[in-house]
Amino acid sequence: MPSFLIKAQQREAIAAIDLGSNALRASIAIKIPDGLEVVKNVRVPLRLGEDVFASGKISDEKMDLTEEAFIKLLHLFSEYNVTVASAMATSAMRDSTNGPLLAERILQSTGIQIETISGLQEARMIFEAVRGQLPMKKKTALLMDIGGGSTELIVVKDDKIIGIHSFNVGTVRLLRYKTQEDLERKIRIQVQKMLLFIEKHLGKKKPDLFVGTGGNLRRIGKIRKKILGQATSQMALFKEIAHMEEAIFSMSFVDRIRRLELDQNRADVILPAIMLAKILMEELKLEKINLPKVGLKEGIMLSMLDERPKKFILKD
């Protein structure tokens, strides 16, 4: 819906902001009868983790870019009649020594308060977003959210969380590899830790559902639909992911942008994400991953409401 129509109808809108290690993501939703409808999604590739995971702090340049991004968001919020906004930051801000200084700068310039949340808080919000899209009653499920700085695993039984762990591995952290073998070795070390966590809660039983969230995993679904010509982007088969891994590693950076229609800040991080998902699926002997169109920002939005909406209409 065009913003001028929202203004004309004076519909109240709310906004959720996810300040991640790879990008800032925001969603604006208007209140509709029985629920919410997302009318605008924004993504700004700030890549805060690039600085933080190398030096422990956010550079002055990234501080300026982040503040500028929030100022632009503030103007957008005015256009869409946003009355309430919630901003949460994850791994890069958790690990940075000057994250609080950046948060204070943004509060002073925009009035938007950023809350830096733990990996466990992050995982719980993601679960709330996913459970509205995929039925998990009378099932076991494994949810995997791959971010730039961390990967969250959530084990679910009969629609209830029975285990959560945040692993200090993400796509931006994994970029400093020398060869495919080096990258695979680093990922397999982390996957072994993940397998121990999963076995603790599920034993040797495979989950009934495997669910992936995060921007890179959603992109896997889009590649599946657009490039491989499959019917849906909301799932992928193991064999398709294995094929994508092989194809992407053989492509140059420029080819990834052209042939897979990736932007520059996605073309490098998508390979570690694909390999992480593939190796875990390989170890667990899983044939399929579900890829719902939700993640942390949708979880943030749901956390802003007094009760779960009956309708939550998403935007591609």
Q: In this predicted structure, what is the pLDDT of residue 315?
A: 85
Q: What SS3 class is residue 312?
A: strand
Q: Provide the pLDDT confidence category of residue 309 given band limits of 50, 70 and 90.
A: very high
Which CATH code of 3.30.420.150, 1.10.3080.10, 3.40.50.920, 3.30.70.1230 fits the domain covering 135-292?
A: 3.30.420.150
Question: Which of 3-7, 109-113, 176-180 shows the lowest per-residue confidence on average (mean pLDDT)?
Answer: 3-7
Hey, do 3-119+297-313 and 135-292 end up sharing a CATH topology, with the first three levels equal?
yes
Angle between helices 99-110 and 60-79 (to 10 degrees): 30
pTM given for the model: 0.93
Q: In this predicted structure, what is the pLDDT of residue 157?
A: 97
Using the predicted structure, report yes or no on whether residue 93 has a pLDDT greater than 80: yes
Q: In this predicted structure, what is the pLDDT of residue 273?
A: 96
Q: Tell me the average pLDDT across 71-85.
A: 96
Q: Tell me the average pLDDT across 27-36.
A: 92
Question: What mean pLDDT value characterizes the chain?
Answer: 94
Using the predicted structure, report yes or no on whether residue 88 has a pLDDT greater than 80: yes
Q: In this predicted structure, what is the pLDDT of residue 5?
A: 53
Using the predicted structure, report yes or no on whether residue 129 has a pLDDT greater than 90: yes
Q: pLDDT higher for 265 or 66? A: 66
Q: In this predicted structure, what is the pLDDT of residue 316?
A: 72
Q: Which alpha helices (DSSP H) does the chain contain, by range?
A: 3-9, 49-55, 60-79, 91-95, 99-110, 119-131, 180-202, 215-226, 238-250, 253-260, 264-267, 270-284, 296-303
Query: For the chain, which residues make up each domain, given as ranges?
Result: 3-119+297-313, 135-292
Q: Tell me the average pLDDT across 30-38.
A: 92
Instruction: Give the Cα separation of 278 and 258 in Å (integer).
Output: 24
Q: Tell me the average pLDDT across 151-162.
A: 97
Q: In this predicted structure, what is the pLDDT of residue 4?
A: 47
Instruction: Give the Cα separation of 240 and 224 in Å (integer).
Output: 8
The 10s digit of each residue's pLDDT in 157-205 is 999 999 999 999 999 999 988 888 999 999 999 999 999 999 999 999 9
Structure tokens at 149: 């700085």
Domain boundaries 3-119+297-313, corresponding CATH code: 3.30.420.40
- Number of Cα atoms under 13 Å in the Cβ half of residue 59: 12
Q: Tell me the average pLDDT across 219-247.
A: 93
Q: Provide the pLDDT confidence category of residue 3 given band limits of 50, 70 and 90.
A: low
Counting residues of the chain whose pLDDT is more than 70, the rounded percentage is 97
* CA neighbor of 273 nearest in space, from 223, 314, 307: 223
Q: What SS3 class is residue 292?
A: coil
Using the predicted structure, report yes or no on whether residue 8 has a pLDDT greater than 50: no
Q: In this predicted structure, what is the pLDDT of residue 10?
A: 64
Cβ proximity of 19 and 50 under 8 Å = no
